[in-house]
A and B are shown apart, each in its own frame.
Chain A
């Protein structure tokens, strides 16, 4: 079942829009840009076989 992550109406997550003050808009833009850069950085991870990766990790329990 697909995961859905609700996008809260929090300050930083809003796409910059005209109703925000200039500073807030700039901050929101910066955060969105930085997040996009992170997504670029992890691009090769996003191309690997996720199920294989997950299922490779099997231990016994610890103490």
Chain B
């Protein structure tokens, strides 16, 4: 059981009883979103084998040539790097809206795809023209190694960690009914890629244990005001609809949790506290009907013992319960909630969420197949393996993987081409997101900085809160507030210095 290292919940007022100066967004329900994806790689069709490490290293040759490192930040504000275990990893710029996050995530696919195609050319020169590089946006390889798609949400600091565990975890675990990417296993079809590979529920520890949710003490923001919620339990999704809904629904649930803590009342979510989150997660993953009952905790706080007093509920019931509470909160204060997302229509999200639950309850896989990754896979596999034919298990596993191959996959592009998969973002908008950072977060400054520095051949480095110029001039900009798109005076000054030194060169 990992130690919970947490620097403590910071109360609503400063310790001397006076309110500390707050970010303008501290009192609103606005959110910062980010998606980090670890990709898997492989090569097939060559005259000899090339392992993942070499494929990934080849992909990153252009990155190293430009940045002198396998870790770099891009002109759209994203971070691109080569992870431990040879996973190309892409972390999107900070965004204020799930639709922006989706666009930035798709931009990541585009960047990675381009690197892979370049690598494929190099590799073909060595091992023959039939070699193919595969880059999998999924969560498990063929040997059972697991890797992740992690979501980041900026959460107000006054929400205690135990509250997040109790109140958010049941939602995250049952969310797989629609966000699960699906997985072919030797014991049947599962909803979630990751369910069999997670250890603890909540942890502040980092690499060893694999928790479902993590809070980081480096929130990349003022730690007095915010904490960074790092959700590890999610699958890597190809469905744009799911990526969007995953973020939007989690945001709404977090909003209710935050406003309840602020108001000093129960959210109602504690009624869903699970007795054994890990067990529940696995059980739910094995049932596409969402009906398997999971045990609720014995002690679930006052006033909610009435909800399933027998102490168990299904994933569908738990999701519906969350939706109902969120809808009530939105109805009570519509302007306040809709104001938290600049581009997304909250009532539409609720209606879409309800429709998903209704279709899952009806087991209408065909209707869900244009939105949910697991349903799209399931339906395709049914079509192949139905009518008394049984599908070869290797073929099923191959198609499962192919679905996630963003470079040479055939299944997902065919589904899109035939109008069988919903697409929310145009190719043009993806192209824009590759090129430009979000305009309404500090990523705007980071992106511009990188663009300018690259253009002038300057030496620079970044992390999430800092821009550092080292050659031809020194400069540093600190950006503590992710909501602040600037430009700050420090930022203007550093750019001016850069421009001046370049014109003197």
Contacts and interface: CB of A to CB of B under 8 A. Distances in A.
Contacts of B189: 3, 5
A62 B379 contact: no
B401 A5 contact: no
B378 interface: yes
B382 A61 contact: no
Interface string B34-59: 00001011111000010110000000
Given A12-B367, A38-B420, A59-B86, A53 B44 contact: yes
Contact of B134 (A34, A35, A57): A57
B383 A56 contact: no
A62 B147 contact: yes
A45 B148 contact: no
Contact of A35 (B87, B148, B365, B379): B379
Interface residues of A, number: 39
Interface in B147-169: 147-148
A41 B146 CA distance: 30
A10 B366 contact: yes
Interface stretch (B314-322, B386-394, B429-437, B445-453): B386-394
A48 B395 CA distance: 9
B367 A59 contact: no
A36 B418 CA distance: 10
A5 B398 contact: no
A38 B380 contact: yes
Contact of B84 (A3, A8, A58, A60): A60
Contacts of B401: 53-54, 57
B85 A62 contact: yes
B186 interface: yes
Contacts of A3: 184, 189, 381, 385, 390-393, 396
A9 to B, nearest CB: 8
A59 to B, nearest CB: 5
Contact of B410 (A8, A31, A41, A50): A41
Given A57-B134, A57-B141, A52 B365 contact: no
Contact of B399 (A6, A45, A56, A60): A45
A21 interface: no
Contacts, number: 162
Given A11-B366, A38-B415, A62 B87 contact: yes
A36 B379 CA distance: 12
A48 to B, nearest CB: 8
A42 interface: yes
Contact of B147 (A5, A42, A53, A59): A59
B190 interface: no
A56 B145 contact: no
Interface string B73-107: 00000000001111101000000000000000000
A42 B429 CA distance: 27
Contact of B381 (A5, A58, A59): A5
A13 B382 contact: yes
Given A35-B379, A57-B142, A63 B411 contact: no
B490 interface: no
A56 B186 CA distance: 18
Contacts of A54: 142, 394, 397-398, 401
Nearest to A63: B207
Contacts of B418: 34, 37-38, 41
Nearest to A62: B147
A26 B418 CA distance: 17
Given A10-B365, A57-B134, A51 B147 contact: no
Nearest to A52: B44
A49 to B, nearest CB: 8
Nearest to B197: A61
B470 interface: no
B489 interface: no
Interface string A1-27: 111111110111100000000000000
Given A3-B393, A5-B382, A53-B401, A11 B87 contact: no
Counting chain B CB atoms within 10 Å of each CB, which of A3, A6, A7, A59 scores highest? A59
A63 B367 CA distance: 35
Contacts of A13: 365-366, 379, 382
A59 B42 CA distance: 8
B200 to A, nearest CB: 15
10 contacts: A10-B363, A13-B366, A35-B420, A41-B410, A56-B44, A57-B136, A58-B141, A59-B41, A59-B86, A63-B207
Given A7-B382, A53-B401, A58-B143, 10 more contacts: A12-B366, A34-B419, A42-B399, A42-B411, A45-B402, A50-B392, A58-B42, A59-B86, A60-B85, A62-B145
Report, nearest first, the 6 A-B pairs whose CB atoms are least far apart: A12-B366, A62-B147, A60-B85, A2-B390, A41-B414, A50-B394
